[in-house]
C-alpha cells in the first residue's frame, strides 16, 4: 500500500470512512509488473466476496446452484456483460433466465456457470462484478468431493444498495437457496484468474499479511481442500447442522463461542439448516500489527476450530513456501494463514 495508508482509519471510523474506502479500493487495484515485458497490469482489487461450499453431486443441489446464480444475476442486472455456460464459450450477457432444465439434463459430469462485468473480449481480465460455480465430476462415494459457489461485488455497490439489503442481503439469500455445508462472506481480494501463479500471487502478500480481514482464493481451486470440514471464518460465517453436530449441535456451538474473549461482538442467527455468525458490524479489515485486531473474528475462529478441515490450506507467507507445494514447511505456512485468527 502507498503511504500514507488511507485504510488505517477504516476500522477506527468504519461508517464515516466507508465510501472513502470504497473509492480507494476501486481506484487502486493491485498492480503486477511482468519481469520480462515490464508491463504493469491490474491483477486484484479489494471488494466483498461470498463463497459457499457444498457437494453438488445430486441434481437437486445443482438446480439450487442455478437458482442461486439467477438470484445473483437479477441483483447485478445491467452490471453483467458476459456469461459462460458449460462448454467454455464466452457469450454476451442477456437478462433472460437460464434454460435450467436443459442445462441440468445435458451435463452429467463437470458443470459450471460463470458471469462477469468486463467487456466480452476481456472476460479473462479483472472483473468488478463476477459470479461463478463449478461442480466437479463425481467419481463415487469413496472419493469425497466438495463444490463451490462464489460471487464478488465492489464495496460501493453494497453501499448504494443498502436499502435493498446490499451485499449481506444478497449473500443471505444465496445461502438460503444453497444451504451449503459452510460458507463465508466479507472483505476479500477479487483476483484475475490468469494471475494466480507464483509471482503475481506473491504481490498480494503484503495486503494479506497486513489485513487479516481480507480473504483470498477461488472456490474452484479451494473446494477440494474442504471435503471433511471448513476453512477460515470471515465477517459472515454460515455453518450447517451437518457440521455443527460434530461439536454437539447448535447449543454446544453457542456455548463454545460464549467462552471466548470478544464473543460479545458476535451475533448468532438461527436458520432452518444451521447457524449464521456475524462477527461485528460492519466487516473489518483489521491490522496484524495489533495483536487484539478483529476480536470478534478471533472469538468465532477459536469456537469453530474443531470443525476445520484437516487439509485446509490458505496462502503461504513467503515465496519459498509457495513454491514448495509438497514441502511440509510450505504446507504448514499455508495452514497457518487459514488459522490466522486463532
Percent over 90 (pLDDT), the chain: 35
Q: Which comes out higher in pLDDT, residue 202 or 45?
A: 45
Indicate whether 221 pLDDT > 60: no
Q: How far is CA 288 from CA 207, 209, 212, in A?
A: 10, 7, 6
**Per-residue confidence at 12, pLDDT binned at 50, 70, 90?**
very low
Length reported for the chain: 342
Q: Phi/psi zone of residue 108: left (φ > 0), alpha (ψ -120 to 50 degrees), beta?
A: alpha
Cell 451485499 locates to 167
Which pLDDT band, with edges at 50, 70 and 90, does 4 fall under? very low
Segment of 44-53, 270-279, 315-324 carrying the highest mean pLDDT:
270-279
β-partners of residue 133 are: 113, 149
Greatest Cα-to-Cα distance within the chain, rounded to the nearest angstrom = 57
Cell 439467477, residue located: 70
Average pLDDT, the chain: 81
Other CB atoms within a 10 A radius of the CB of residue 162 amount to 13
Q: What is the pLDDT of residues 89-112, one digit of tens each?
A: 888 998 888 877 777 776 666 778
Residue 217 confidence (pLDDT): 61
Mean pLDDT of 59-75: 91
Indicate the DSSP class of residue 66: H
pLDDT attached to residue 320: 54
pTM: 0.88
Q: What is the pLDDT of residues 237-248, one digit of tens each?
A: 999 999 999 999
Helix and strand element counts for the chain (H, E): 12, 11
pLDDT of residue 27: 83
Distance of CA 84 to CAs 87, 92, 131, Å? 8, 9, 11
Residue 121's pLDDT band, with cuts at 50, 70 and 90, is confident
pLDDT band of residue 15 (cuts 50, 70, 90) is very low
Q: Which three cell numbers stand for residue 41?
A: 497490469
Cell of 211: 489485513
Least confident stretch, 200-209, 262-271, 327-336: 327-336
Higher pLDDT, 14 or 116: 116
Q: Which has the closest alpha carbon to 61: 138, 130, 114, 116? A: 138
| 3 state SS of 238 | strand
- Residue 225: its pLDDT value, please? 60
pLDDT given for residue 330 in this prediction: 58
pLDDT at 233: 93
User: Grid coordinates in use for 49?
Assistant: 466476496
pLDDT at 248: 96
Confidence of residue 328 (pLDDT cuts 50, 70, 90): low
For 292-321, the pLDDT digits (tens) are 889 999 999 999 999 988 776 666 555 555
CA distance 294 to 267: 14
Report pLDDT for 260.
94
Residue 108 or 155, more confident: 155
CA of 207: how far to CAs of 146, 158, 274, in Å?
A: 28, 22, 32
What was the pLDDT predicted at 184? 95
For residues 212 and 234, give the distance between their C-alpha atoms in angstroms, rounded to a whole number: 10
Instruction: Decide: 81 and 119 in contact? Cβ < 8 Å.
Output: yes
Q: pLDDT band at 7, cuts 50/70/90?
A: very low
Q: Taking a C-beta distance cutoff of 8 angstroms, is the pair 320, 330 a contact?
A: yes
pLDDT of residue 14: 47
Range 322-334 average pLDDT = 59
pLDDT band at 201 (very low <50, low <70, confident <90, very high): low
Amino acid at each position: 500500500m502507498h503511504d500514507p495508508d488511507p485504510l488505517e482509519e477504516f476500522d477506527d471510523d468504519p461508517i464515516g470512512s466507508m465510501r472513502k474506502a470504497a473509492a480507494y479500493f476501486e481506484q487502486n487495484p493491485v498492480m503486477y509488473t511482468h519481469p520480462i515485458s515490464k508491463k504493469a497490469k491490474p491483477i486484484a482489487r479489494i471488494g466483498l466476496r461470498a463463497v459457499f461450499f457444498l457437494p453438488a453431486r445430486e441434481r437437486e443441489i445443482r438446480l439450487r446452484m442455478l437458482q442461486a446464480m439467477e438470484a445473483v444475476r437479477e441483483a447485478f442486472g445491467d452490471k453483467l456483460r458476459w456469461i459462460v455456460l458449460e462448454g467454455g464459450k464466452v457469450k454476451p450477457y442477456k437478462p433472460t433466465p437460464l434454460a435450467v432444465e436443459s442445462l441440468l439434463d445435458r451435463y452429467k459430469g463437470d458443470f459450471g456457470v460463470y458471469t462477469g462485468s468486463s467487456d466480452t473480449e476481456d472476460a479473462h481480465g479483472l472483473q468488478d462484478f463476477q459470479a461463478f460455480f463449478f461442480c466437479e465430476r463425481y467419481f463415487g462415494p469413496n472419493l469425497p468431493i466438495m463444490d463451490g459457489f462464489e460471487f464478488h461485488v465492489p464495496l460501493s455497490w453494497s453501499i448504494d444498495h443498502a436499502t435493498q439489503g446490499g451485499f449481506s442481503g444478497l449473500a443471505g439469500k444465496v445461502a438460503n437457496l444453497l444451504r451449503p455445508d459452510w460458507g463465508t462472506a466479507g472483505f476479500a481480494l477479487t483476483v484475475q484468474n490468469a494471475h494466480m501463479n507464483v509471482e503475481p500471487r506473491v504481490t498480494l502478500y503484503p495486503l494479506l499479511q497486513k489485513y487479516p480481514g481480507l480473504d483470498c482464493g477461488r472456490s474452484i481451486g479451494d473446494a477440494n481442500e474442504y471435503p471433511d470440514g471448513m476453512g477460515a471464518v470471515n465477517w459472515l460465517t454460515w455453518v450447517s447442522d451437518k457440521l455443527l453436530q460434530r461439536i454437539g449441535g447448535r447449543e454446544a456451538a453457542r456455548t463454545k463461542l460464549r467462552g471466548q474473549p470478544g464473543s460479545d461482538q458476535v451475533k448468532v442467527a438461527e436458520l432452518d439448516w444451521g447457524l449464521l455468525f456475524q462477527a461485528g458490524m460492519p466487516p473489518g479489515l483489521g491490522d496484524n500489527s495489533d495483536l487484539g485486531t478483529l476480536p470478534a473474528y478471533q472469538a468465532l475462529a477459536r469456537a469453530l476450530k474443531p470443525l476445520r478441515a484437516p487439509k485446509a490450506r490458505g496462502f503461504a507467507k513467503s515465496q519459498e513456501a509457495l513454491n514448495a507445494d509438497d514441502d511440509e514447511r510450505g504446507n504448514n505456512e499455508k495452514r497457518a494463514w487459514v488459522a490466522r485468527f486463532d
